[in-house]
Amino acid sequence: MLSVKQVEAAKPGAKLVKLSDGGGLQLWITPKGGRLWRLAYRHGGKQKVIALGTFPTVSLAEARQAAAQHKQTLADGRDPAVVRKVQKATTFNALADEYLAHLAKEGCTPATVEKNRWLLSFARAALGPRPIAKISAAEVLAVLEAVDTGGRRESARRARSTIGAVFRYAILKGWAEDDPTQALRGIFKHAPQHRAAITDPAAFGGLLRAIRGFDGQPTTRAALELAVLLAPRPGELRHAEWREFDLEGAVWQIPAGRMKMRRPHDTPLSRQAVAVLRDLHKLTGSGRLLFPSTRSAERPISENTMGAALRRMGYGKEEVCAHGLRASFSTLANESGKWHPDAIEQQLAHAHRNVVRRIYARGTYWDERTRLIQWWADECDRLRQGGEVVALRASA
């Protein structure tokens, strides 16, 4: 057997030199001085060699330990080289890459895939080479704490979720048995982000009159009117395509790739919304997008367009934003007492936090939502007219 001194003193020769430690473990000294650990073995009647690392990165004791593990694999009837290949394919990095490819294949937007790729980059250095089935919650926590320490708490929170998605994908593929990120849920809490919104009925009526009187781009006014009438997320509306709308059937079918929860979402259209869409079709119906940018018909209006229009009407950022129109709908619909809260949540495409309720609520309330969205459009008409001057008939 070799001693540490023999390994340290090993000199290169004109050709490859092999020093045996016994049991197939060898130290190969290259003509250039490299010292490589190798394990020679036989499997399936063939002579094979597997690399165990380089000295001094891998010590003599560590090389012996690795050789012993591979010999146990042989004793179990498996080829160490094949086992290693499989293990390499099931590292966190390998599963992360496979998960990202899966997202793209399922129709996620390139921006979403890149966002997930960026969040996973925080974990690749520490977790990447590790077999995914052996990664512990403590290892993931160390990664997230490093992100949080850098002043990026929201990134740490989102990274936990994305790393967890890779583990859950690995579970489905049979490469892991549990998701260690579940033990870390809630560890990086953040204050909820409140969107500026108008929820007073009279003030909201004033906003509706301001939108109706907006003298900017007609397409921007239409976008604001639909944002009010249908309460979608601004991104869902900005990227809307004409092929998603059935005006005769009064339905807007939003594809999963544009939804926050990555599930397709159908929303009923009120008579008022259909009227807005028919007028808008005269302006942009020859193209793909409802709201094309003025610079390119293949790009939608920017995320600031509706907000800028609200500022132009005199509303400050602290008063209302495009996303806040959803809060206006939610508040006034709930306060009316006419509608089941779950129907309102379904219209907003919110996922229930309670898993059981989420399962049973999926795909329900369509009839109620159809009545809800028409009531809301009629209510908006009523609120808009609330401040108009009505001529009084003179008394006889």
**Phi, psi dihedral angles at 195 (to 5 degrees):** -90, 135
CB atoms within 10 A of CB 12: 14
Q: 221 catalytic, yes or no?
A: no
Q: Is 360 exposed, middle or buried (0-12, 13-18, 19+ CB in 10 A)?
A: exposed
User: Which of 308, 307, 250 lies closest to 277, judged by CA?
Assistant: 250
Residues 6+ apart with CB under 8 A from 190: 153, 154, 157
Kindly name the residue from 85, 360, 362, 382 that is annotated as catalytic: 360
Active site residue 42: no
- Catalytic annotation, pick one of 64, 233, 238, 384: 233
Among residues 260, 278, 288, 338, which one is catalytic?
260
φ/ψ region of 367 (left if φ > 0, alpha if ψ in -120 to 50, else beta) reads alpha
Tokens of 314: 């005199």
Q: Are the C-beta atoms of 119 and 155 separated by less than 8 Å?
A: yes
Cα 54 to Cα 301: distance, rounded to the nearest angstrom: 57
- CA–CA gap between residue 233 and residue 227 (Å, rounded): 8
Q: Which of 299, 311, 350, 371 is catalytic?
A: 350
115 carries an active-site annotation: no
Q: Specify whether 265 is catalytic.
A: no
Does 350 qualify as catalytic in the annotation? Answer: yes
Q: Which of 157, 158, 238, 326 is catalytic?
A: 326
Dist CA 292 CA 303 (whole Å): 12
> Catalytic site residue 360?
yes
Q: Check residue 254 and report its DSSP letter.
A: E
Residues labelled catalytic: 233, 260, 323, 326, 350, 360
